[in-house]
Structure 1
Amino acid sequence: MSTRVHAVTVVGSINLDLIATADRLPTAGETIGGAALSQQPGGKGANQAAAAARLGGSARMVGAVGNDVNGQRMLDALAGAGVDTADVAVLPEPTGTALIVVDGDGENQIVVCPGANSHLTLDGVEFGPEETVLCQLEVVLEAARRHAGYFVLNAAPAMDLPAQLLERCDLVIVNESEYALIPALAEAKLVAVTYGGDGSAMFEHGRKVAEAPSVAVSVANTVGAGDAFCAALVLALRQGVDYAHALAVANAVGGDAVGNPSSQPDLAQLGYYVERTAVAEGAR
């Protein structure tokens, strides 16, 4: 178990991404040739932890991989990004795998084989009251129960959320479709919503209180962009950046991620994005 104090502790999935890049996405029953295959570290949880670490925030990963070559590869990738992996369990089940098809515009189709992720527990894991915990919809209820400090939920994929979970969340992060599919979010204390090319907005109990435009970029891969956005928004807010500026920072980080073919792209330090977006806001 890790005993360090971390800016962000991420509880979530760790996958090997198998990515086929094709001119377009196939329709049902269709076979498309001429695609290029790549393998890279992925999983929403791992992507968010790697982004947080690369942005300069001390990050811890709580997750599970298999006792196999892919599991070791995922651990090495997280450690290489600067993530503390002491609380990543190595289990007999195979490492999770995501099968991803990406078209020429960066849009994707994804099928996830969770493997070891489905057997993740929080046995032996402790959370300090000063930690910020960022979860996706995996072992979120147990994490919410165990952690008394700042708690963030990336509510993806969309599903009904228990009222007690929403009451526990200090921040919920979703995309536009997830916000529409989870009506209960209108009652949540603070929700950040992403709108792709239309930027992002912050809502308090269903009332929009801030927004920020998107950043114009050339799209290479959208798989890890939302995860980079989550990490950046959490770090910015926890450093006291106001809602609108924090959204702008997260949009800039997400934009850089979209322009990179990796699900866990290299990123500048958070301070760079804070300064860059401050200059941009002053110019508007």
Structure 2
Amino acid sequence: MPAKVVVVGSINMDLVTRAPRLPRGGETLIGESFATVHGGKGANQAVAAARLGAQVSMVGCVGSDAYGEELRGALLAEQIDCQAVSIVEGSSGVALIVVDDNSQNAIVIVAGANGALTSEVIDRFDSVLQAADVMICQQEVPDATVGYALARGRALGKIVILNPAPASRPLPPDWYASIDYLIPNESEAAALSGLPVDSLETAETAATRLIGMGASKVIITLGAQGLLFANGKNFEHFPAPTVKAVDTTAAGDTFVGGFAAALAAGESEAEAIRFGQIAAALSVTRAGAQPSIPTLSDVQAFKAP
């Protein structure tokens, strides 16, 4: 049977425009293109895990608007179990994304229906959590819900992954005991640790502080610099595969989904990290969030000599 991953998190419609550069405060730029793309960190990670070989269930909420119907349908098309994707009155979550000519992006998120994902919803679909091997959470849904889901995952004995995104402040101290793998990027690691993170060396310092705060294992993704894996006092740097970047949207989500799928399949930490890195590298060679996420065969072809 395929390894089972459950994702508790956000489902958004991404409204994406490309521009020569990111606008400054008060400035209006002429955009080059516009598209609506299925997204949300939770949904992106669910799609990544599914395309990369796992059997995936999604726990989340969409609105009663046209976006909600489309978003739920897109997850079903990926063979993702959506029995725990609830439809609530009002608008679906949206993300406003600007991508510049250097493939960097700026994002504003409006929670919409994602705000209706509560602990009561988690309890209603507890059987979905029980059936999984690995649980993934992010922070685009209410903090109280994230904390509750993490604790429930730990109580059920699952491998628990938290991608603390978006992060603007340290995590609640009691969350750490429930997390097996904390996976922030540079800015998120800086927000959680209170330290600057702009190099491999500063990432080590931040990871040391996060472990001191209670984190068990930390993976700080560093874009083109690869990532840092910290386990206690030991550090390992994994260089990034070399590719030509087109759009970095959902690269982090692709890594998390790929890493989770590989862990759930019984791969070692190092193997799961490399698998996730290749998937993320392939994703940045394509535009969009979910459209950019590769398949298992894509990754296997990349790995082939």
For normalisation by structure 1, the TM-score amounts to 0.90
Post-superposition offset of 1:275 = 7.9
Report what 1:150 is aligned to: 159
Deviations 1:240-271, CA, capped at 9 Å, x for gaps: 3333332221111001111111201342217x
Report what 1:124 is aligned to: 124
Q: Pairwise mapping of residues 89-100 of structure 1 onto structure 2 (< 5 A)?
A: 89-100=86-97
Report what 1:238 is aligned to: 264
Post-superposition offset of 1:55 = 0.7
Q: Pairwise mapping of residues 16-95 of structure 1 onto structure 2 (< 5 A)?
A: 16-95=13-92
- Higher alpha-carbon deviation: 186-195 or 176-185: 176-185
2:256–2:276 contact (8 Å) kept in structure 1: yes
Measure the CA separation in 1 of the matches of 2:51 and 2:218.
Answer: 24
Q: What is the aligned-residue identity percentage?
A: 35
What residue identity is the alignment partner of 2:61?
A
Post-superposition offset of 1:129 = 6.5
**3-state secondary structure, aligned to 1:174:** coil
Report what 2:136 is aligned to: 134
Post-superposition offset of 1:5 = 8.8
Deviations 1:183-225, CA, capped at 9 Å, x for gaps: 25223111111111110121113531x3311122222221111
2:166–2:188 contact (8 Å) kept in structure 1: yes
Does residue 186 (structure 1) correspond to residue 196 (structure 2)? The answer is no
Stretches of structure 2 lacking an aligned partner (at least 5 in a row): 194-208
Does residue 205 (structure 1) correspond to residue 232 (structure 2)? The answer is yes
Report what 1:217 is aligned to: 243
Does residue 267 (structure 1) correspond to residue 299 (structure 2)? The answer is no
What residue identity is the alignment partner of 1:152?
I
- 1:257 pairs, out of 283, 286, 291, with 283
- Return the structure number with greater helix share: 2
Measure the CA separation in 1 of the matches of 2:237 and 2:257.
Answer: 18
Post-superposition offset of 1:83 = 1.1
1:211–1:244 contact (8 Å) kept in structure 2: no
Measure the CA separation in 2 of the matches of 1:91 and 1:241.
Answer: 38
2:279–2:293 contact (8 Å) kept in structure 1: no
Deviations 1:110-139, CA, capped at 9 Å, x for gaps: 111110101112241112175311000232
Query: Cα 1:276–1:221, aligned 2, differ >3 Å: closer, same or farther?
Result: closer
